Amino acid sequence: MPTHPMIWSCWKWLCPASLQQPSARPLASLRITSHSAIVQKEAQMSLLDTARAVRENAHAPYSKFKVGAAIKAASGAVYAGCNVENVAYPEGTCAEAGAIAAMVAGGDTRITEVAVIADSPKPVSPCGGCRQKIAEFAAGDVVVTMATTDGIVQQTTVAALLPGSFDADYMSRV
């Protein structure tokens, strides 16, 4: 269990109460390495499990639609994010955007895998804005796993989610 106050604060933010108990085995699967809420992937915890765990921390008092996302960076580090709503709806943050922000804050800039989960009737896909954010840091062949809390899983790629994405090539004359 973390002892540094800033790391403990992030640990509590990232992990649901059930995972904070010393007797809970999944707690050993999470290791916070800095105040930017970086989660290191251990053998016992998959990317989807990480997204599922962080989803419980979503702040969704208005829609009640909690979303969790986890991304694996080229370094092997796993970053997690959950949606954070705001009473001024456009000011909320998507789970994928939160995970990407944590990745960049952690010093990584390349995504090698994505997982997103929500309590929905079919696997939840990233919104249009998050598709573009993911494409900024991921190659077209990066696998995106979309899931429901009931266990329905669908996999696709970044290119399939965002065909004809706006990329840096469009800025080559600038």
Instruction: Please give the pLDDT value at position 41.
Output: 36
Instruction: Please give the pLDDT value at position 35.
Output: 30
Q: How far apart are CA 137 and CA 74, in angstroms?
A: 10
Place of tokens 């251990």: 42
Does 125 fall in a domain? yes
Query: Which parts of the chain register pLDDT below 50?
Result: 1-44
CATH of the domain at 58: 3.40.140.10
Q: Which of 56, 85, 91, 96 is catalytic?
A: 96
Active site residue 96: yes
Exposure pattern of 36-75 as b/e (b: 16+ CB <10 Å)?
A: bbbbebeeebbbbbbbbbbbebbebeeeeebbbbbbbbee
Does 44 fall in a domain? yes
Does 78 fall in a domain? yes
Instruction: Please give the pLDDT value at position 174.
Output: 85
Does 151 fall in a domain? yes
Per-residue model confidence as pLDDT tens digits over 65-106: 999 999 999 999 999 999 999 999 889 999 999 999 999 999
Does 172 fall in a domain? no
Does 20 fall in a domain? yes
* Largest Cα span, the chain: 58
| Sheet-wide strand order for 138-148 | 38-40, 77-82, 67-73, 111-118, 138-148, 153-157
Which residue segment(s) compose the domain that 97 sits in? 5-166
Distances (CA, A) of 42 to 31, 81, 115, 170: 9, 18, 16, 39
The number of folded domains in the chain is 1
Does 21 fall in a domain? yes
